[in-house]
Structure 1
Amino acid sequence: MSVPSYGSSEVPAGPSCFYHPDRPSYIRCQRCDRLICTDCQTPAPVGFHCPGCLDEARRRRPAQRTEFGAPLRADEKPRLTYAVIALCAVMYLLQWTAQTTGANVTGYLSYAPAHTSQWLMEPWRMLTSAVLHSPANVMHIGFNMLALWIVGRVIEPAIGRLRYAALLVLSALGGSVAVLWLTEPNVPTVGASGAVFGLFGSLFILMRSSGAESGGVIALVAVNMAMSFIVPNISWQGHLGGLVAGALVALVIAKAPRGRRVLWQTLGLAGIAVALIALTIVGIPLVNPPQLGQPPILGF
Protein backbone atom coordinates (compact mmCIF):
# COMPACT_ATOMS: atom_id res chain seq x y z
CA MET A 1 0.00 0.00 0.00
CA SER A 2 1.40 3.41 -0.96
CA VAL A 3 0.91 6.23 1.52
CA PRO A 4 0.73 9.89 0.51
CA SER A 5 3.47 12.19 1.66
CA TYR A 6 2.94 15.88 2.33
CA GLY A 7 5.37 18.65 3.18
CA SER A 8 8.96 17.71 3.92
CA SER A 9 10.36 14.47 2.53
CA GLU A 10 12.21 13.88 5.79
CA VAL A 11 10.57 11.41 8.19
CA PRO A 12 10.60 12.61 11.83
CA ALA A 13 12.62 10.66 14.34
CA GLY A 14 9.60 10.08 16.64
CA PRO A 15 6.27 8.40 15.97
CA SER A 16 4.61 9.58 12.73
CA CYS A 17 1.13 9.63 11.24
CA PHE A 18 0.15 6.54 9.25
CA TYR A 19 -1.25 8.70 6.43
CA HIS A 20 1.38 11.48 6.62
CA PRO A 21 4.77 9.94 7.52
CA ASP A 22 6.41 13.38 7.61
CA ARG A 23 4.19 14.52 10.49
CA PRO A 24 4.75 13.53 14.13
CA SER A 25 1.80 11.94 15.90
CA TYR A 26 1.05 10.56 19.37
CA ILE A 27 -2.72 9.91 18.99
CA ARG A 28 -4.07 6.54 17.88
CA CYS A 29 -7.30 5.65 16.08
CA GLN A 30 -9.73 3.99 18.50
CA ARG A 31 -10.66 1.34 15.90
CA CYS A 32 -7.44 0.32 14.12
CA ASP A 33 -4.86 1.71 16.58
CA ARG A 34 -2.97 3.56 13.83
CA LEU A 35 -1.15 6.77 14.70
CA ILE A 36 -2.89 9.80 13.18
CA CYS A 37 -2.02 13.46 13.03
CA THR A 38 -4.42 16.31 13.81
CA ASP A 39 -5.57 16.58 10.16
CA CYS A 40 -6.58 12.91 10.12
CA GLN A 41 -8.45 12.89 13.43
CA THR A 42 -12.28 12.72 13.38
CA PRO A 43 -13.83 13.03 16.85
CA ALA A 44 -15.69 9.91 17.99
CA PRO A 45 -17.75 9.22 21.13
CA VAL A 46 -14.49 7.96 22.61
CA GLY A 47 -11.21 9.22 21.15
CA PHE A 48 -10.72 9.72 17.40
CA HIS A 49 -11.16 7.75 14.18
CA CYS A 50 -8.79 7.76 11.21
CA PRO A 51 -9.92 8.49 7.59
CA GLY A 52 -9.76 4.81 6.60
CA CYS A 53 -11.97 3.61 9.44
CA LEU A 54 -14.35 6.52 8.85
CA ASP A 55 -14.77 5.57 5.17
CA GLU A 56 -15.33 1.92 6.08
CA ALA A 57 -18.00 2.86 8.62
CA ARG A 58 -19.79 4.99 6.04
CA ARG A 59 -19.79 2.14 3.52
CA ARG A 60 -21.26 -0.29 6.03
CA ARG A 61 -23.90 2.10 7.29
CA PRO A 62 -27.32 1.03 5.97
CA ALA A 63 -28.88 3.50 3.53
CA GLN A 64 -31.77 5.48 4.93
CA ARG A 65 -35.05 4.83 3.15
CA THR A 66 -38.53 6.27 3.04
CA GLU A 67 -41.54 4.47 4.45
CA PHE A 68 -42.12 2.88 1.03
CA GLY A 69 -38.55 1.72 0.38
CA ALA A 70 -37.10 4.57 -1.69
CA PRO A 71 -33.58 5.85 -0.90
CA LEU A 72 -33.83 8.93 1.29
CA ARG A 73 -31.75 11.74 -0.19
CA ALA A 74 -32.04 15.38 0.71
CA ASP A 75 -31.16 16.50 -2.83
CA GLU A 76 -33.36 13.99 -4.68
CA LYS A 77 -35.10 15.54 -7.69
CA PRO A 78 -38.14 14.09 -9.51
CA ARG A 79 -36.23 13.64 -12.76
CA LEU A 80 -38.66 11.09 -14.20
CA THR A 81 -41.57 13.49 -13.69
CA TYR A 82 -39.69 16.21 -15.55
CA ALA A 83 -38.74 13.74 -18.30
CA VAL A 84 -42.37 12.67 -18.85
CA ILE A 85 -43.49 16.31 -18.98
CA ALA A 86 -40.76 17.05 -21.54
CA LEU A 87 -41.75 14.00 -23.62
CA CYS A 88 -45.40 15.04 -23.68
CA ALA A 89 -44.41 18.59 -24.65
CA VAL A 90 -42.24 17.34 -27.52
CA MET A 91 -45.01 15.04 -28.77
CA TYR A 92 -47.50 17.91 -28.56
CA LEU A 93 -45.24 20.07 -30.73
CA LEU A 94 -44.93 17.22 -33.22
CA GLN A 95 -48.71 16.81 -33.31
CA TRP A 96 -49.20 20.54 -33.75
CA THR A 97 -46.58 21.00 -36.49
CA ALA A 98 -47.68 17.80 -38.25
CA GLN A 99 -50.98 19.44 -39.07
CA THR A 100 -49.20 21.78 -41.49
CA THR A 101 -47.25 18.97 -43.19
CA GLY A 102 -50.13 16.53 -43.51
CA ALA A 103 -48.57 13.94 -41.17
CA ASN A 104 -51.10 12.36 -38.83
CA VAL A 105 -49.10 11.78 -35.65
CA THR A 106 -52.26 11.62 -33.56
CA GLY A 107 -53.82 9.05 -35.88
CA TYR A 108 -50.70 6.89 -35.84
CA LEU A 109 -50.32 6.75 -32.05
CA SER A 110 -53.78 7.29 -30.51
CA TYR A 111 -55.76 4.36 -29.14
CA ALA A 112 -59.24 3.02 -29.80
CA PRO A 113 -60.59 -0.44 -28.88
CA ALA A 114 -60.50 -1.34 -32.56
CA HIS A 115 -56.70 -1.12 -32.46
CA THR A 116 -56.67 -4.21 -30.24
CA SER A 117 -59.27 -6.35 -31.96
CA GLN A 118 -59.44 -9.45 -34.11
CA TRP A 119 -59.13 -7.20 -37.17
CA LEU A 120 -56.23 -5.01 -36.11
CA MET A 121 -53.50 -5.65 -33.55
CA GLU A 122 -51.55 -2.57 -32.52
CA PRO A 123 -51.34 -2.94 -28.73
CA TRP A 124 -48.50 -0.41 -28.34
CA ARG A 125 -51.09 2.32 -28.89
CA MET A 126 -52.41 1.57 -25.39
CA LEU A 127 -49.28 3.29 -24.07
CA THR A 128 -48.33 5.71 -26.85
CA SER A 129 -51.74 7.40 -26.59
CA ALA A 130 -50.77 8.47 -23.04
CA VAL A 131 -48.11 10.89 -24.34
CA LEU A 132 -50.47 12.51 -26.89
CA HIS A 133 -52.92 15.37 -26.36
CA SER A 134 -55.43 17.19 -28.48
CA PRO A 135 -53.47 19.66 -30.65
CA ALA A 136 -56.60 21.79 -30.94
CA ASN A 137 -56.95 22.27 -27.16
CA VAL A 138 -53.95 23.59 -25.26
CA MET A 139 -55.88 23.26 -21.99
CA HIS A 140 -55.79 19.50 -22.46
CA ILE A 141 -52.02 19.18 -22.16
CA GLY A 142 -51.86 22.14 -19.77
CA PHE A 143 -54.09 20.53 -17.14
CA ASN A 144 -52.42 17.13 -17.37
CA MET A 145 -48.88 18.50 -17.15
CA LEU A 146 -49.77 20.77 -14.23
CA ALA A 147 -51.30 17.84 -12.34
CA LEU A 148 -48.30 15.65 -13.17
CA TRP A 149 -45.89 18.36 -12.00
CA ILE A 150 -47.73 18.90 -8.70
CA VAL A 151 -48.44 15.29 -7.73
CA GLY A 152 -45.44 13.64 -9.39
CA ARG A 153 -42.95 15.73 -7.42
CA VAL A 154 -44.49 14.36 -4.23
CA ILE A 155 -44.85 10.70 -5.18
CA GLU A 156 -41.60 10.07 -7.09
CA PRO A 157 -39.19 10.79 -4.19
CA ALA A 158 -41.48 8.94 -1.77
CA ILE A 159 -41.61 5.62 -3.65
CA GLY A 160 -38.46 5.76 -5.78
CA ARG A 161 -37.91 6.14 -9.50
CA LEU A 162 -38.46 2.51 -10.56
CA ARG A 163 -41.69 2.14 -8.60
CA TYR A 164 -42.83 5.50 -9.92
CA ALA A 165 -42.15 4.40 -13.51
CA ALA A 166 -44.19 1.25 -12.90
CA LEU A 167 -46.99 3.38 -11.45
CA LEU A 168 -47.14 5.62 -14.52
CA VAL A 169 -47.00 2.75 -17.04
CA LEU A 170 -49.55 0.56 -15.28
CA SER A 171 -51.91 3.50 -14.71
CA ALA A 172 -51.74 4.45 -18.39
CA LEU A 173 -52.30 0.81 -19.37
CA GLY A 174 -55.18 0.54 -16.91
CA GLY A 175 -56.82 3.56 -18.50
CA SER A 176 -56.52 2.00 -21.96
CA VAL A 177 -57.92 -1.32 -20.72
CA ALA A 178 -60.97 0.51 -19.37
CA VAL A 179 -61.33 2.26 -22.74
CA LEU A 180 -61.19 -1.15 -24.45
CA TRP A 181 -64.01 -2.51 -22.32
CA LEU A 182 -66.22 0.56 -21.95
CA THR A 183 -65.79 2.70 -25.09
CA GLU A 184 -67.14 2.35 -28.62
CA PRO A 185 -64.59 0.50 -30.77
CA ASN A 186 -64.12 3.26 -33.34
CA VAL A 187 -63.57 6.19 -30.93
CA PRO A 188 -59.85 7.01 -30.40
CA THR A 189 -58.65 8.42 -27.09
CA VAL A 190 -55.55 10.46 -26.27
CA GLY A 191 -54.11 12.00 -23.14
CA ALA A 192 -51.98 11.36 -20.07
CA SER A 193 -55.03 11.54 -17.84
CA GLY A 194 -55.05 7.78 -17.18
CA ALA A 195 -51.59 8.09 -15.68
CA VAL A 196 -52.55 11.33 -13.89
CA PHE A 197 -55.60 9.73 -12.30
CA GLY A 198 -53.36 6.83 -11.35
CA LEU A 199 -51.25 9.34 -9.45
CA PHE A 200 -54.39 10.65 -7.75
CA GLY A 201 -55.40 7.15 -6.67
CA SER A 202 -51.92 6.25 -5.50
CA LEU A 203 -51.55 9.51 -3.58
CA PHE A 204 -54.72 8.71 -1.63
CA ILE A 205 -53.53 5.19 -0.74
CA LEU A 206 -50.01 6.31 0.19
CA MET A 207 -51.31 9.12 2.40
CA ARG A 208 -53.78 6.82 4.13
CA SER A 209 -51.11 4.19 4.77
CA SER A 210 -48.78 6.79 6.29
CA GLY A 211 -51.51 8.26 8.49
CA ALA A 212 -51.65 11.62 6.71
CA GLU A 213 -54.88 13.55 6.18
CA SER A 214 -56.36 12.50 2.83
CA GLY A 215 -59.56 14.54 2.69
CA GLY A 216 -58.10 16.94 0.14
CA VAL A 217 -57.21 14.11 -2.22
CA ILE A 218 -60.74 12.69 -1.97
CA ALA A 219 -62.16 16.08 -2.94
CA LEU A 220 -59.68 16.38 -5.81
CA VAL A 221 -60.61 12.98 -7.23
CA ALA A 222 -64.34 13.57 -6.75
CA VAL A 223 -64.27 16.92 -8.57
CA ASN A 224 -62.23 15.59 -11.48
CA MET A 225 -64.33 12.44 -11.85
CA ALA A 226 -67.48 14.58 -11.83
CA MET A 227 -65.98 16.69 -14.63
CA SER A 228 -65.31 13.49 -16.56
CA PHE A 229 -69.05 12.79 -16.73
CA ILE A 230 -70.31 16.38 -17.02
CA VAL A 231 -67.96 17.86 -19.64
CA PRO A 232 -68.43 16.38 -23.14
CA ASN A 233 -65.63 14.65 -25.06
CA ILE A 234 -63.78 13.58 -21.92
CA SER A 235 -62.90 9.92 -21.47
CA TRP A 236 -64.29 9.01 -18.07
CA GLN A 237 -63.39 5.42 -18.92
CA GLY A 238 -59.69 6.23 -19.10
CA HIS A 239 -59.93 8.21 -15.87
CA LEU A 240 -61.64 5.38 -14.04
CA GLY A 241 -59.22 2.72 -15.30
CA GLY A 242 -56.16 4.80 -14.41
CA LEU A 243 -57.56 5.61 -10.97
CA VAL A 244 -58.18 1.95 -10.13
CA ALA A 245 -54.82 0.77 -11.51
CA GLY A 246 -52.92 3.50 -9.64
CA ALA A 247 -54.65 2.66 -6.37
CA LEU A 248 -53.79 -1.04 -6.79
CA VAL A 249 -50.15 -0.22 -7.52
CA ALA A 250 -49.98 1.96 -4.40
CA LEU A 251 -51.53 -0.81 -2.29
CA VAL A 252 -48.79 -3.20 -3.41
CA ILE A 253 -46.08 -0.63 -2.65
CA ALA A 254 -47.50 0.40 0.72
CA LYS A 255 -48.51 -3.01 2.08
CA ALA A 256 -45.49 -5.08 1.05
CA PRO A 257 -43.79 -6.65 4.13
CA ARG A 258 -40.67 -4.72 5.11
CA GLY A 259 -38.56 -7.86 5.48
CA ARG A 260 -38.67 -8.76 1.76
CA ARG A 261 -40.17 -5.58 0.42
CA VAL A 262 -38.50 -5.54 -3.01
CA LEU A 263 -39.52 -9.14 -3.75
CA TRP A 264 -43.15 -8.66 -2.76
CA GLN A 265 -43.44 -5.34 -4.55
CA THR A 266 -41.96 -6.84 -7.70
CA LEU A 267 -44.33 -9.80 -7.60
CA GLY A 268 -47.32 -7.58 -6.87
CA LEU A 269 -46.59 -5.12 -9.68
CA ALA A 270 -45.93 -7.99 -12.08
CA GLY A 271 -49.27 -9.49 -11.07
CA ILE A 272 -51.08 -6.23 -11.88
CA ALA A 273 -49.37 -6.09 -15.28
CA VAL A 274 -50.38 -9.69 -16.04
CA ALA A 275 -53.96 -8.98 -14.99
CA LEU A 276 -54.17 -5.93 -17.30
CA ILE A 277 -52.72 -7.90 -20.21
CA ALA A 278 -55.18 -10.73 -19.52
CA LEU A 279 -58.10 -8.27 -19.51
CA THR A 280 -56.87 -6.93 -22.84
CA ILE A 281 -56.71 -10.42 -24.35
CA VAL A 282 -60.16 -11.34 -23.04
CA GLY A 283 -61.59 -8.06 -24.36
CA ILE A 284 -60.30 -8.51 -27.91
CA PRO A 285 -63.16 -10.77 -29.15
CA LEU A 286 -65.73 -8.37 -27.67
CA VAL A 287 -64.81 -5.53 -30.05
CA ASN A 288 -67.20 -5.16 -32.98
CA PRO A 289 -65.80 -4.63 -36.49
CA PRO A 290 -63.96 -1.29 -36.37
CA GLN A 291 -64.74 1.87 -38.30
CA LEU A 292 -61.89 4.14 -37.37
CA GLY A 293 -61.60 7.81 -38.19
CA GLN A 294 -63.76 9.70 -35.72
CA PRO A 295 -62.25 12.67 -33.86
CA PRO A 296 -60.39 11.56 -30.73
CA ILE A 297 -61.96 11.84 -27.31
CA LEU A 298 -59.81 13.92 -25.02
CA GLY A 299 -58.23 12.29 -22.01
CA PHE A 300 -58.46 15.15 -19.51
Structure 2
Amino acid sequence: MANANDNNVLPSIFYLTGIPGYEAAHCWISIPFCLLYLIAIVGNSTILHIIRTDPNLHEPMYYFLTMLSITDMGMSLSTLPTVLRIFWFNANEITFDACVTQMFFIHSLSLMESAVLLAMAFDRYVAICNPLRYATILTPRRIICAGLVLLLRSTALLLPLLIHLLWYPFCDSHELSHSFCLQLDMIRLACADTTFNSLYGLGLVIFFWGVDSLGIIMSYIFILRSVLGIASREERLKALNTCASHICAVLILYVPMIGLSMVHRFAKHSSPLVHIFMANIYLLVPPVLNPIIYSVKTKQIRRRILQLLEPQRCLSAFK
Protein backbone atom coordinates (compact mmCIF):
# COMPACT_ATOMS: atom_id res chain seq x y z
CA MET A 1 0.00 0.00 0.00
CA ALA A 2 1.04 3.56 -0.48
CA ASN A 3 2.22 5.92 2.18
CA ALA A 4 -0.46 7.03 4.64
CA ASN A 5 0.60 10.66 4.24
CA ASP A 6 -0.81 10.77 0.72
CA ASN A 7 -4.29 12.32 1.05
CA ASN A 8 -5.79 10.26 -1.77
CA VAL A 9 -4.73 6.74 -0.86
CA LEU A 10 -5.55 4.16 1.72
CA PRO A 11 -3.26 4.14 4.78
CA SER A 12 -1.44 0.93 5.65
CA ILE A 13 -1.50 1.55 9.40
CA PHE A 14 -4.24 2.39 11.89
CA TYR A 15 -3.84 3.07 15.60
CA LEU A 16 -6.01 1.39 18.20
CA THR A 17 -6.89 2.99 21.52
CA GLY A 18 -6.72 1.47 24.98
CA ILE A 19 -8.26 3.38 27.89
CA PRO A 20 -7.60 7.09 27.23
CA GLY A 21 -6.04 8.86 30.19
CA TYR A 22 -5.16 5.60 31.95
CA GLU A 23 -2.21 4.49 29.84
CA ALA A 24 0.04 4.23 32.91
CA ALA A 25 -2.39 1.76 34.49
CA HIS A 26 -2.83 -0.47 31.45
CA CYS A 27 -0.99 -3.37 33.09
CA TRP A 28 -3.40 -3.30 36.03
CA ILE A 29 -6.42 -2.81 33.79
CA SER A 30 -5.37 -5.89 31.83
CA ILE A 31 -5.96 -8.11 34.90
CA PRO A 32 -9.80 -8.05 34.79
CA PHE A 33 -9.69 -8.37 30.99
CA CYS A 34 -7.45 -11.44 31.24
CA LEU A 35 -9.79 -12.91 33.85
CA LEU A 36 -12.82 -12.35 31.61
CA TYR A 37 -11.09 -13.87 28.58
CA LEU A 38 -9.98 -16.85 30.68
CA ILE A 39 -13.51 -17.45 31.98
CA ALA A 40 -14.96 -17.17 28.46
CA ILE A 41 -12.46 -19.56 26.86
CA VAL A 42 -12.41 -22.12 29.68
CA GLY A 43 -16.19 -21.96 30.17
CA ASN A 44 -17.07 -22.45 26.52
CA SER A 45 -14.38 -25.11 26.08
CA THR A 46 -15.88 -27.00 29.02
CA ILE A 47 -19.37 -26.83 27.50
CA LEU A 48 -18.03 -28.13 24.17
CA HIS A 49 -16.07 -30.93 25.87
CA ILE A 50 -19.08 -32.08 27.91
CA ILE A 51 -21.42 -32.11 24.91
CA ARG A 52 -18.87 -33.93 22.75
CA THR A 53 -18.09 -36.65 25.31
CA ASP A 54 -21.58 -37.31 26.71
CA PRO A 55 -23.81 -39.29 24.28
CA ASN A 56 -26.87 -38.34 26.34
CA LEU A 57 -26.36 -34.72 25.25
CA HIS A 58 -26.34 -35.48 21.54
CA GLU A 59 -29.72 -33.83 21.10
CA PRO A 60 -30.94 -30.80 19.08
CA MET A 61 -30.89 -28.42 22.06
CA TYR A 62 -27.25 -29.19 22.79
CA TYR A 63 -26.23 -29.03 19.13
CA PHE A 64 -27.48 -25.45 19.07
CA LEU A 65 -25.70 -24.81 22.37
CA THR A 66 -22.52 -26.09 20.69
CA MET A 67 -22.98 -23.48 17.94
CA LEU A 68 -23.48 -20.78 20.57
CA SER A 69 -20.33 -21.80 22.48
CA ILE A 70 -18.22 -21.89 19.30
CA THR A 71 -19.51 -18.44 18.36
CA ASP A 72 -18.79 -17.06 21.84
CA MET A 73 -15.28 -18.50 21.83
CA GLY A 74 -14.63 -17.07 18.38
CA MET A 75 -15.83 -13.67 19.60
CA SER A 76 -13.37 -13.75 22.51
CA LEU A 77 -10.44 -14.94 20.39
CA SER A 78 -11.09 -12.30 17.70
CA THR A 79 -10.57 -9.39 20.12
CA LEU A 80 -8.07 -10.91 22.56
CA PRO A 81 -4.83 -10.35 20.52
CA THR A 82 -5.20 -6.60 19.98
CA VAL A 83 -6.62 -5.89 23.46
CA LEU A 84 -3.76 -7.63 25.27
CA ARG A 85 -1.11 -6.21 22.90
CA ILE A 86 -2.23 -2.71 23.86
CA PHE A 87 -2.47 -3.35 27.60
CA TRP A 88 0.75 -5.37 27.92
CA PHE A 89 3.08 -3.89 25.30
CA ASN A 90 1.44 -0.57 24.36
CA ALA A 91 1.49 -1.88 20.77
CA ASN A 92 -1.43 -0.05 19.21
CA GLU A 93 -0.51 -0.24 15.51
CA ILE A 94 -2.54 -2.49 13.22
CA THR A 95 -2.36 -2.85 9.46
CA PHE A 96 -5.40 -2.15 7.33
CA ASP A 97 -5.65 -5.81 6.22
CA ALA A 98 -5.45 -7.09 9.79
CA CYS A 99 -8.02 -4.51 10.90
CA VAL A 100 -10.52 -5.49 8.21
CA THR A 101 -9.96 -9.18 9.00
CA GLN A 102 -10.63 -8.63 12.69
CA MET A 103 -13.64 -6.50 11.77
CA PHE A 104 -15.02 -9.33 9.64
CA PHE A 105 -14.79 -11.85 12.49
CA ILE A 106 -16.26 -9.49 15.10
CA HIS A 107 -19.26 -8.47 13.01
CA SER A 108 -19.95 -11.87 11.45
CA LEU A 109 -19.75 -13.66 14.82
CA SER A 110 -22.02 -11.05 16.37
CA LEU A 111 -24.60 -11.64 13.64
CA MET A 112 -24.08 -15.39 13.97
CA GLU A 113 -24.79 -15.29 17.71
CA SER A 114 -28.09 -13.54 17.11
CA ALA A 115 -28.99 -16.10 14.45
CA VAL A 116 -28.13 -19.03 16.74
CA LEU A 117 -30.34 -17.57 19.47
CA LEU A 118 -33.17 -17.44 16.93
CA ALA A 119 -32.56 -21.10 16.08
CA MET A 120 -32.56 -21.96 19.80
CA ALA A 121 -35.89 -20.16 20.20
CA PHE A 122 -37.33 -22.30 17.42
CA ASP A 123 -35.91 -25.38 19.16
CA ARG A 124 -37.73 -24.44 22.39
CA TYR A 125 -40.92 -23.76 20.42
CA VAL A 126 -40.88 -27.22 18.83
CA ALA A 127 -39.93 -28.93 22.12
CA ILE A 128 -42.83 -27.34 24.02
CA CYS A 129 -45.53 -26.87 21.39
CA ASN A 130 -44.94 -30.03 19.35
CA PRO A 131 -42.96 -32.44 21.57
CA LEU A 132 -44.09 -35.64 19.82
CA ARG A 133 -42.50 -34.51 16.54
CA TYR A 134 -39.43 -32.90 18.14
CA ALA A 135 -36.96 -35.60 17.06
CA THR A 136 -38.40 -35.87 13.55
CA ILE A 137 -38.46 -32.11 12.89
CA LEU A 138 -35.02 -31.28 14.30
CA THR A 139 -32.95 -34.10 12.84
CA PRO A 140 -29.11 -33.88 12.92
CA ARG A 141 -29.05 -33.33 9.16
CA ARG A 142 -31.49 -30.43 9.35
CA ILE A 143 -29.56 -28.89 12.24
CA ILE A 144 -26.30 -29.06 10.25
CA CYS A 145 -28.03 -27.49 7.24
CA ALA A 146 -29.51 -24.77 9.46
CA GLY A 147 -26.06 -24.06 10.92
CA LEU A 148 -24.54 -23.71 7.45
CA VAL A 149 -27.35 -21.41 6.32
CA LEU A 150 -26.91 -19.24 9.42
CA LEU A 151 -23.14 -19.09 8.83
CA LEU A 152 -23.60 -18.15 5.18
CA ARG A 153 -26.20 -15.53 6.09
CA SER A 154 -23.89 -13.97 8.68
CA THR A 155 -20.88 -13.72 6.37
CA ALA A 156 -22.01 -13.33 2.75
CA LEU A 157 -24.09 -10.19 3.23
CA LEU A 158 -21.35 -8.64 5.35
CA LEU A 159 -18.66 -8.90 2.65
CA PRO A 160 -19.86 -5.99 0.42
CA LEU A 161 -19.71 -3.69 3.45
CA LEU A 162 -16.08 -4.57 4.16
CA ILE A 163 -14.94 -4.80 0.54
CA HIS A 164 -16.23 -1.28 -0.04
CA LEU A 165 -13.75 -0.04 2.58
CA LEU A 166 -10.98 -0.80 0.05
CA TRP A 167 -12.09 2.18 -2.02
CA TYR A 168 -12.16 4.77 0.76
CA PRO A 169 -9.30 7.23 1.16
CA PHE A 170 -8.34 8.00 4.77
CA CYS A 171 -6.72 11.40 4.75
CA ASP A 172 -7.11 12.62 8.32
CA SER A 173 -6.53 10.88 11.63
CA HIS A 174 -5.92 7.14 11.54
CA GLU A 175 -6.67 6.68 15.23
CA LEU A 176 -9.53 4.34 16.05
CA SER A 177 -11.64 4.65 19.19
CA HIS A 178 -11.34 1.11 20.54
CA SER A 179 -8.77 -1.60 21.14
CA PHE A 180 -10.32 -3.58 18.27
CA CYS A 181 -11.61 -2.69 14.81
CA LEU A 182 -15.27 -1.85 14.18
CA GLN A 183 -16.75 -0.83 10.85
CA LEU A 184 -18.51 2.31 12.14
CA ASP A 185 -15.32 3.39 13.85
CA MET A 186 -13.29 3.10 10.65
CA ILE A 187 -15.65 4.81 8.21
CA ARG A 188 -15.81 7.94 10.39
CA LEU A 189 -12.12 8.45 9.48
CA ALA A 190 -12.75 8.31 5.74
CA CYS A 191 -12.59 11.57 3.80
CA ALA A 192 -15.09 10.45 1.19
CA ASP A 193 -18.80 9.91 0.81
CA THR A 194 -19.62 7.02 3.14
CA THR A 195 -23.35 6.93 2.38
CA PHE A 196 -23.18 3.36 1.02
CA ASN A 197 -21.53 1.93 4.12
CA SER A 198 -23.79 3.92 6.45
CA LEU A 199 -27.04 2.91 4.74
CA TYR A 200 -25.96 -0.66 3.97
CA GLY A 201 -24.75 -1.15 7.54
CA LEU A 202 -27.99 0.25 8.93
CA GLY A 203 -29.94 -2.02 6.59
CA LEU A 204 -28.00 -5.06 7.78
CA VAL A 205 -28.64 -4.18 11.41
CA ILE A 206 -32.37 -3.68 10.81
CA PHE A 207 -32.63 -6.86 8.73
CA PHE A 208 -30.59 -9.19 10.92
CA TRP A 209 -31.43 -7.92 14.38
CA GLY A 210 -35.01 -7.07 13.40
CA VAL A 211 -35.76 -10.47 11.86
CA ASP A 212 -33.99 -12.36 14.65
CA SER A 213 -35.61 -10.45 17.50
CA LEU A 214 -39.05 -10.67 15.86
CA GLY A 215 -38.60 -14.41 15.37
CA ILE A 216 -37.59 -14.88 19.01
CA ILE A 217 -40.57 -12.83 20.23
CA MET A 218 -43.00 -14.77 18.03
CA SER A 219 -41.57 -18.08 19.25
CA TYR A 220 -42.17 -17.12 22.85
CA ILE A 221 -45.68 -15.88 22.13
CA PHE A 222 -46.54 -19.36 20.83
CA ILE A 223 -44.66 -20.97 23.72
CA LEU A 224 -46.57 -18.93 26.31
CA ARG A 225 -49.87 -19.70 24.62
CA SER A 226 -49.05 -23.41 24.70
CA VAL A 227 -47.78 -23.32 28.30
CA LEU A 228 -50.86 -21.47 29.58
CA GLY A 229 -52.96 -24.27 28.16
CA ILE A 230 -51.31 -26.80 30.47
CA ALA A 231 -53.57 -27.60 33.44
CA SER A 232 -50.89 -28.41 36.00
CA ARG A 233 -49.02 -25.47 37.54
CA GLU A 234 -45.94 -27.63 38.10
CA GLU A 235 -45.91 -28.70 34.46
CA ARG A 236 -46.20 -25.05 33.36
CA LEU A 237 -43.23 -24.06 35.53
CA LYS A 238 -41.23 -27.03 34.30
CA ALA A 239 -41.88 -26.09 30.68
CA LEU A 240 -40.94 -22.45 31.25
CA ASN A 241 -37.82 -23.47 33.18
CA THR A 242 -36.45 -25.15 30.04
CA CYS A 243 -36.49 -21.69 28.40
CA ALA A 244 -34.81 -19.81 31.28
CA SER A 245 -31.23 -20.24 30.03
CA HIS A 246 -32.16 -19.15 26.51
CA ILE A 247 -34.06 -16.08 27.74
CA CYS A 248 -31.02 -15.05 29.80
CA ALA A 249 -28.73 -15.53 26.77
CA VAL A 250 -31.04 -13.35 24.65
CA LEU A 251 -31.07 -10.57 27.26
CA ILE A 252 -27.29 -10.77 27.70
CA LEU A 253 -26.79 -10.17 23.97
CA TYR A 254 -29.58 -7.72 23.17
CA VAL A 255 -29.45 -5.40 26.19
CA PRO A 256 -25.76 -4.40 25.68
CA MET A 257 -26.35 -4.19 21.92
CA ILE A 258 -29.27 -1.80 22.37
CA GLY A 259 -27.26 0.19 24.93
CA LEU A 260 -24.30 0.49 22.57
CA SER A 261 -26.57 1.59 19.70
CA MET A 262 -28.20 4.22 21.92
CA VAL A 263 -24.80 5.56 22.97
CA HIS A 264 -23.57 5.75 19.35
CA ARG A 265 -26.68 7.59 18.16
CA PHE A 266 -27.75 9.76 21.08
CA ALA A 267 -24.57 10.27 23.10
CA LYS A 268 -22.01 10.96 20.39
CA HIS A 269 -20.41 13.75 22.39
CA SER A 270 -20.23 11.85 25.68
CA SER A 271 -16.93 10.77 27.21
CA PRO A 272 -14.94 8.28 25.09
CA LEU A 273 -14.84 6.08 28.18
CA VAL A 274 -18.61 5.54 27.88
CA HIS A 275 -18.28 4.28 24.29
CA ILE A 276 -15.31 2.08 25.19
CA PHE A 277 -17.07 0.66 28.24
CA MET A 278 -20.25 -0.18 26.31
CA ALA A 279 -18.35 -1.75 23.39
CA ASN A 280 -16.36 -3.99 25.74
CA ILE A 281 -19.50 -5.04 27.60
CA TYR A 282 -21.19 -5.91 24.30
CA LEU A 283 -18.28 -8.07 23.10
CA LEU A 284 -17.10 -9.59 26.40
CA VAL A 285 -20.16 -10.18 28.57
CA PRO A 286 -22.05 -12.75 26.41
CA PRO A 287 -19.05 -15.11 25.99
CA VAL A 288 -18.38 -14.89 29.75
CA LEU A 289 -21.93 -15.29 31.07
CA ASN A 290 -23.46 -17.74 28.59
CA PRO A 291 -21.46 -20.81 29.73
CA ILE A 292 -22.04 -19.85 33.37
CA ILE A 293 -25.79 -19.57 32.86
CA TYR A 294 -26.07 -22.85 30.96
CA SER A 295 -23.87 -24.58 33.54
CA VAL A 296 -26.09 -23.40 36.39
CA LYS A 297 -29.52 -23.67 34.76
CA THR A 298 -29.10 -26.87 32.70
CA LYS A 299 -29.24 -29.89 34.98
CA GLN A 300 -27.45 -32.30 32.62
CA ILE A 301 -24.50 -29.97 32.08
CA ARG A 302 -24.34 -29.02 35.76
CA ARG A 303 -24.21 -32.69 36.72
CA ARG A 304 -21.38 -33.41 34.27
CA ILE A 305 -19.37 -30.44 35.51
CA LEU A 306 -19.76 -31.62 39.10
CA GLN A 307 -18.57 -35.07 38.02
CA LEU A 308 -15.50 -33.52 36.41
CA LEU A 309 -14.76 -31.63 39.62
CA GLU A 310 -15.45 -34.60 41.91
CA PRO A 311 -12.47 -35.07 44.27
CA GLN A 312 -12.32 -38.85 43.86
CA ARG A 313 -12.20 -38.49 40.09
CA CYS A 314 -9.46 -35.89 40.39
CA LEU A 315 -7.44 -38.12 42.71
CA SER A 316 -7.83 -41.14 40.46
CA ALA A 317 -6.49 -39.09 37.55
CA PHE A 318 -3.14 -38.76 39.33
CA LYS A 319 -2.80 -42.48 40.16
Q: What TM-score do the two structures reach when normalised by structure 2?
A: 0.27
Larger Rg: 1
- Higher RCO, Cα 8 Å, sep 6+: 2
